[in-house]
Chain A
Amino acid sequence: MRDRNDGPSYGRRVTAAVWFRPSQQNIVFALFAVLFVLFSLFLHGFLTTDNMLTLLQNVAVLGILGLGMAVVVIGRGIDISLVASLAVPPGLVLQMVQNGHSLPYALLTAFALSLAFGLVNGWLIAYAEVPSLFATLATGLFLAGLGQVALFKLDVVQWSPGMNALTVIGQGTIAGLPVPILMFGLTAIAVMLFLRLTRIGTYIYAIGDNPNAARITGIPTRPAIVLQYVLAALVGAFAGLVLAASVNSMPTRIYNSTLIYDVILVVVLGGIGLSGGRGGVLNVVIGTLLIGTMLNAMTIMDVSYSGQNLIKGLVLLVAILADSFVNPRNEETAQQGDI
C-alpha cells in the first residue's frame, strides 16, 4: 500500500477527475443514464428486448442524419438542406423505378443528384462565401421545389416491386438486430474512420477550430469545406433510402416537418458545439440515444405529440442549462460570430 501523498495516488485522483469531467457530452450521457434507469424501474414494458430494438430502430434514421450533420458542424458549418437531401434523391430512385427504369440506373442518377447538390452547397459556402445557414436554407428550398415540380407525381412516392432488392436495408434483421440499426452503426463507423484516420478528417477539425489559421497553415480549406457538404448530402440520401425501405414509401412532405431541428438537437446536445472543431461520432450516438429514449418512453406513456415535444424541449433546456453552469462561457472566452 502506497503512501497517500506519493505520485500514483495523485495520478489516481487525476484519473478520477477525467472520468467525471462534466463536459456536455458526459452530462447528456448521465442524463440519458438516469432517464434510462428511471424508465426501466418505473415504466412497464420499457426494458424489454423488443422495446429496445424498437427504440433504436425509430431513431436510426435520425442518427444517420445526425452523423451527416456532425461532419458539417465540426467544420463550423450547418446544413439545413439535409432533409431535402433525405427526401428528394431517394424519392427520385423510387419514382424512376416506378416509371420502369432499372434500380442501378435509378441509384446512379440519385447519387449524381446528391453529389451535384452537395457540390453546389459546398461551392456556395466555400467559394461564394454565403453563410452556411443561409445557403443551405435556400438550396434546400430549391431542391424541395425541384422535387415537387419536376420529379415526383405524388407527394408520397410508393415503393414498387422493382425496388425489392433494397428492402433489406430497411427491414428485417441480421443476427437478431434490425437492419436500420446496423445501417446506423455502419455509417457511424465509416464517419468515425473518416474523421479519425484520414488526413482530410483532421483538416475538418482544424477548419472548424479556426478557419483562418487553417487556411494560413496551408490546408486546402475550400475543397475540404466542399467535401463536407458533399458527404452530408450523400449521408442524407443514404438515410432517405433506409427510411424509404423501412416504411415502404418516401413521404416527400417530410421536408415541411421539423425533422431538421431534431437533427440539430441530436448533434448539438451530444456535445458537438456549433462553433466547430469539437466532438465526434460518439457525441451523435449519445445525443441520439437520449432523444430516442425520451421519445420511446413518452410513446409508451401515451403522451400526445405536442406533449412529447414540450417535454423533450424542457429536458433539452435543462441539459444545456446544466452545461452552462458547469462549463460557463464568458465574454473573454466567447468566440465572435458564434451563435
Chain B
Amino acid sequence: MNERLVSLRYRYWPDHLVGEILSKRWTETAIPAIVLVIVAAAFSEAIPGFLSAAGLADTARQACEIGFCVFGMSLVIIVGGIDLSIGSIFALTDFCALFCLDVLGWPVWAVIPATLLAGALLGAVNGILIGYFRLRAFITTLITLIVYRAAYDLLIFGHSNQIAAAFPDIPIWNFIGGGTIFGVPSIVLVYAAIAIFGHVFLTRLRPGWHVVAIGGSRRSAFNSGIPVRRTIAQCYVASGFLTALGALFFAARLGTVGGDIGVGLEVTVLTAAILGGISLGGGKGSVAKALIGTLIVLLITNGLTTLSAPGGVNRMVLASILLIAAMIDIRWVKNRNRIISKVYVSPTYHAMPPIPATDPDSGTPFALNDRLRDVTEIGVGRIEAPEDIILDGDDNLYAGSRHGDIIRFFPPDYERMEVYAHIGGQPLGMAFDRNRSLYVCVGGMGLYRITRNRKVEKATDETNRSLRSVNDDSRLRLADDLDIADDGRIFFSEATVRYEMHEWPVDGLEARGNGRIICYDPNTETTRTVLRNLKFPNGVCITSDRQSILFAETWGCTVKRYWFAGPKIGRVETVLDNLPGYPDNINLASDGNYWLALVGMRCPALDLAWRMPGFRRRMAKRLPVDEWLFPNINTGCVVKFDEQGRILESLWDLGGVNHPMITSMREHRGHLYLGGILNNRIGRYRLAHADPDFVHYDRRWGITA
C-alpha cells in the first residue's frame, strides 16, 4: 500500500523539472525580475495611477534615456571595465545637441549625427586610454568624469543663455522628444531596436562573444587571439555613443542645459547595472539584466518622488532596496549551481521482479559457465574503450576508441592496426549501410558517417524539440547504437537526454525513462524522435521481417520490439523481460537469432534502491558522487535469444579473466568478436556450429562475396 503511494507520487509528480528549470541560464535573472515585480506592485498599490498609460509613457521616456546609458555601462562592465564618465558625457552631448540646434542653427538631420559622433569621440578618449594604453578603467574614467564635467561647466557658462532663450519649434525635433507612433513613444521604439540588437550581438554574434570572453578572462582571450585592446576600446566608444543617444532624446524632450544635468548619473546607471545582475569584474551580463535594473531604479526613484517623500527618506529607501536586492542576488548567483547540483538528480520509482537465477546448477539458460575464458585477445593495451566492433566483407575489424578514433585492425592476425578515421568523440554503436559507408553513433556528438574513402561526415546531431520538455532536448547528447532499415532510414537510440555520456551511472540512479529512439532519414536528411521516455535505450537491431527493430532498455532490463512499418506500425511489444543483467547492444547471429550483451548483472541492493526513490534522493543530496550506488558493470555475459523471447544460450567468463565486461559482440565467419567500453582489448571467441561465411552486413544487404 505504502509502496503503491510512492509509485503514484513519483509517477505523476515531475521532480526532474525543478533541476531543469534552475539550470536555465535565465534563472540567473530571477531575483532582479522578482524585485522588479514587487517594486512595481508596491508602488501601484501606494500610488493610484502609477502604472496607468500616461504615467507609464512618461516613465518610459525617462527609462529609455537612462536605459541607453545603462546599456553602455553594461557593455563596458561586461568587457571587464567601468565607465564613470557617463554622466559627464551625457551632459556634454546634451549641450552639443542643443548648441548645434539653437546656436549654430543646424538642421536636425545634421544635429543627430553630430551629437552621436561627439559621444563616440568622448568615449573613444576613454577607449584609447584604457584599451590601447592599458590604463585602469576606474581611475581613467574618474579623471575624464572630472575633465568632461569641467569642460561642460565652462561651455554652458558662455552659452546657456542663448540656449535657454531659443525655442526651436521643429516638428521632427519635437517628435523625437515627445512623439508617439501608435501610442508608443518614439524613444521606446529606438530603445527596443537597440535592445534586440544588443541581445543578438551579445548572444549570437562573434564580436559579442569576444566581449564576454575578454570580460571572463582577459588573458585567455588574448592568448586565443582575440583582439583584446581593440575590442575594449570599441566598447568604450559604444558606451559614449549610447550615452549620446540617451542625451539626444533628453535634449529633445527638455531642451535645457542646467548645471546639474548628468551629475550623479553614473551612480544611477551603475546601480541599475549591478542591480540587474551584471557583475563587476566582467564576463557576465545580458540585455535583459540591464533592462530590469533600469526599470527597478527608475520605478523606485519615480515612485518615491511621486509619494513626495522627503529627500532623505528617498535616499534611505533607495539604499535599503539596493542593498537587500544585491545581497539576495549575490547569494542566489553564488548558490544557484550548488542548488542545481543537489536537486538535478531526481530518482523515481522503479520496481523489478526478483532476479532470475544464474547459478551454474540452476538449470536456467543463464546458468554460469566458463566458455569465454578461452577467447583470444586483439590489440591488448593498444586500444581503449571499444564499445562496439564491426567487420566488413574483407575481414577488416573496426572499433571505436576513447580518443575519438575509429581504429582498423587488419586480417588475418589483427596485429597491425591504423587509425581509420578521426571523429573527435567517443564512437559507440556502428553499422554499414548498403554502400558500405560506416554509420557511427558518437557520444556527445550525434550520428556520423564515414564514407568508403574515409571521409567523416555529420549525418545528424539534432532532432525535433519536444514541446513539453524544459531542457532543450533537440541536441543529441548520447547517441548509442543504430541499425539501418531497407529504405535507408536509420534508427538509433539516445540513451538519455538529461546527462552527458560520462554521467551515465547517474541516469541509472534516476531510473526514469530519459532516453528515446530517433529516426534519421538520409533521403530527406530529416531527424525525428519516434519513441520517448525509455529507460536508457541501448542496442538496436533490425528484425527478420524488416518492419521492426529490437531495442534494449538497459535500466528496464528488457528488450522490446518496435514496428516502424507494416500492419503493426507504431506498436511496441516486450520481447525479453526481467533479464538478470543490464542489456546493451543487440546484433544478428548467423542462425537468424540475436546476440545480446549484458553489460553488467543486476544486484539486489540496486533493485531494492530502485524501489526507494527517497533513499536515492537523500543519497544524491548528502553524499559525494563517488560514494553513490553504482550499477554493477564488472561482470557480464553474452546471451543468444530469438524473436519469440526465448534465451537459447549464454556465454560467461566466470572468473573475469579475459572478458568480464561486454558491451557489444559481432559474429563474423564463425567467430564472435567482443567489445567493452571499459576494456583495453577486443575478444575473439570461436563459435562451434556457426556459419563460417557469415558477414553481418553482407548478409543484411544481400551482398555475396
Contact = CB atoms under 8 A, between A and B. Distances in A.
A190 interface: no
Interface stretch (B89-97, B132-140, B387-395, B559-567): B132-140
A336 B217 contact: yes
B323 A339 contact: no
Q: Which of A145, A273, A304, A324 has the most CB of B within 10 A?
A: A145
A214 interface: no
B654 interface: no
B281 A141 contact: no
Contact of B271 (A137, A150, A317, A338): A137
Interface of B: 80-82, 129, 133-140, 142-147, 149-151, 153-154, 157, 217-219, 221-223, 228, 264, 267, 270-271, 274, 279-282, 310-320, 322-323, 326-327, 330-331, 334
Nearest to A120: B323
B274 A313 contact: no
B528 to A, nearest CB: 46
B146 A309 contact: yes
Contacts of B320: 138, 142
Contacts of B136: 268, 273-274, 320, 338-339
Contacts of B311: 145, 148
Contact of A309 (B149, B270, B274): B149
Given A145-B312, A320-B143, A331-B228, A274 B138 contact: yes
B154 A306 contact: yes
For the complex, would chain A's binding face be called helix, strand, loop or mixed by DSSP majority?
helix
Contacts of B153: 305-306, 309
21 contacts: A131-B280, A134-B270, A134-B274, A134-B280, A139-B323, A140-B319, A142-B320, A142-B323, A258-B146, A268-B136, A274-B138, A274-B139, A306-B153, A310-B151, A317-B140, A331-B223, A336-B217, A336-B219, A337-B281, A339-B136, A339-B280
Contacts of B149: 258, 306, 309
A308 B217 CA distance: 39
Contact of B150 (A306, A329, A330): A306
A279 to B, nearest CB: 13
A146 interface: yes
B140 A334 contact: no
Contacts of A337: 80, 280-282
Contact of A128 (B315, B318, B327): B327
B280 to A, nearest CB: 5
B323 A130 contact: yes
A280 to B, nearest CB: 18
Which 10 pairs from chain A and chain B are nearest by CB?
A148-B312, A145-B315, A149-B312, A337-B281, A313-B147, A142-B319, A331-B222, A309-B150, A306-B153, A145-B316
Given A274-B138, A320-B135, A321-B135, A141 B146 contact: no
A309 B147 contact: yes
A124 interface: yes
B150 A310 contact: yes
B229 to A, nearest CB: 9
B316 A142 contact: yes
Given A129-B330, A321-B135, A329-B134, A307 B150 contact: yes
A268 B323 contact: no
Contacts, number: 166
A317 B330 contact: no
A264 interface: yes
A153 B145 CA distance: 33
Contacts of B147: 309-310, 313-314, 317
Nearest to B326: A130
A317 B312 contact: no
Nearest to A311: B150
Contacts of A316: 143
Given A144-B312, A317-B143, 4 more contacts: A134-B270, A149-B316, A313-B143, A314-B147
Nearest to A323: B135
Contacts of A332: 219, 222
A133 interface: yes
A332 B320 CA distance: 39
A5 B145 CA distance: 52
Interface size class of A (residues with CB under 8 A): 35 or more
A334 B218 contact: yes
A313 B223 CA distance: 34
A308 to B, nearest CB: 8
Nearest to B154: A306
A264 B139 contact: yes
Contacts of A137: 267, 270-271, 322
A195 interface: no
A318 to B, nearest CB: 10
A135 interface: yes
A148 B310 contact: yes
Q: Which of B150, B157, B330 has the most CB of A within 10 A?
A: B150
Nearest to B321: A138
Given A306-B153, A309-B150, A339 B267 contact: no
A185 interface: no
A124 B144 CA distance: 30
A62 to B, nearest CB: 14
B134 A324 contact: yes
B274 A131 contact: yes
Contacts of A339: 80-82, 136-138, 280-281
A149 B316 CA distance: 9
A328 interface: yes
A265 interface: yes
A307 B154 contact: yes
A128 to B, nearest CB: 5
Nearest to B334: A129
A147 interface: yes
B219 A331 contact: yes
Nearest to B315: A145
A138 B319 contact: yes
A277 B219 CA distance: 21
A312 interface: yes
A274 B280 CA distance: 14
A337 B326 CA distance: 18
Given A274-B139, A307-B154, A148 B146 contact: no
A228 B267 CA distance: 23
A150 B135 CA distance: 42
B157 A306 contact: yes
A134 B314 CA distance: 18
Contacts of A325: 133
A265 to B, nearest CB: 7
A321 B129 CA distance: 8
A19 interface: no
Nearest to B310: A149
A286 to B, nearest CB: 16
A136 to B, nearest CB: 10
B290 to A, nearest CB: 16
Given A130-B323, A130-B330, A337-B280, A261 B222 contact: no
Contacts of B228: 331
Q: Which of B81, B139, B330 has the most CB of A within 10 A?
A: B139
B219 A130 contact: no
Contact of B322 (A129, A138, A144, A273): A138
Nearest to A149: B312
Contacts of A317: 129, 140, 143-144, 147
Nearest to B271: A137
Nearest to B148: A313
B137 to A, nearest CB: 5
A321 B279 CA distance: 28
Contacts of B282: 336-337
Nearest to A262: B146
Contact of A264 (B142, B150, B280, B312): B142
A310 B149 CA distance: 8
Contact of B142 (A130, A145, A261): A261
A307 B154 CA distance: 7
Interface in A95-154: 124, 128-131, 133-135, 137-142, 144-150
A261 B81 CA distance: 18
